[in-house]
Amino acid sequence: MNKVVVIVAGGSGQRMGSDIPKQFLTIEGKPIFLYSIDRFREAFTDIEIILVLPTAYHEFANEQLFEFGYDKSHIQLVDGGSTRFHSVQNGLNKVSNDAVVFIHDAVRCLLSVDLIYRCYDSCINKGSTVPVTKVRDSIRRLSPDGSTHIMPREELYSVQTPQTFLGKVIKEAFKQDYQPVFTDEASVLENAGGEVNMVEGEESNIKITFPDDLLFAEFKIKNSS
């Protein structure tokens, strides 16, 4: 089957305390979003890459792709939207129904090729897959009345990307109108009546959000080369 990855690079640098979006910060002199592209290209040499990012950064992204020697014949740049839902929707408009579609956060630059393969195999068998890790900490829920309640930790998982779907499945789900509860692609599919299947994720597959996350990613990348 055709393979496509929609890499969502629409975040800002606000929580990083950065003047530029965090996906364009560098590790070892290389922008973060390029590491994500590398992993998918390593997994599948024929994969199509759709890079969704703010319009104002298209030129900058193209310059980085050229500077680091990327073959742009299999990379499309697509405008981001007002929310993640709309950004992904814009990317999916470029995807065919017969593809396996990975949807991945550009700033999860530490994912492994093995994780990509696990997501692909599970998606082929089940139609949809999200990587997850077990919650380690005790979790309490704050109710509107101010009371708190312990949540059963053994039933809770943290969700990662790449969330992976058959094209026809996820494209149909994204025909519905946006709702604030859509925090990821799995929630969109679930609201449309689809089944969300899980596969084991990776503890190191963090989403770079805060300065300490960047330090962790730098450490992991430096020690993997």
Number of domains into which the chain is organized: 1
Tokens 């703010």, residue located: 54
**Domain with 187 in it:** 2-222
Average pLDDT, the chain: 94
Structure token pair of residue 186: 């799995």
Neighbours of 173 (CB within 10 A): 22
Q: What is the CATH number of the domain that holds 208?
A: 3.90.550.10
Q: Yes or no: say if 2 and 48 are a contact pair by the CB < 8 Å rule.
A: yes
Q: 14: pLDDT confidence band, cut at 50, 70 and 90?
A: low
Please report the pLDDT score of residue 21 as a whole number: 85
Tens digit of pLDDT for each residue in 42-79?
A: 999 999 999 999 999 999 999 999 999 999 999 999 99
Mean local confidence (pLDDT), 168-193? 97
Q: 10: pLDDT confidence band, cut at 50, 70 and 90?
A: confident
**Closest by Cα among 63, 97, 91 to 77:** 91
Please report the pLDDT score of residue 1 as a whole number: 84
Q: Yes or no: say if 85 and 40 are a contact pair by the CB < 8 Å rule.
A: no
pTM: 0.94
Structure token pair of residue 80: 């981001």
Please report the pLDDT score of residue 220 as a whole number: 95
Q: Yes or no: say if 162 and 199 are a contact pair by the CB < 8 Å rule.
A: no
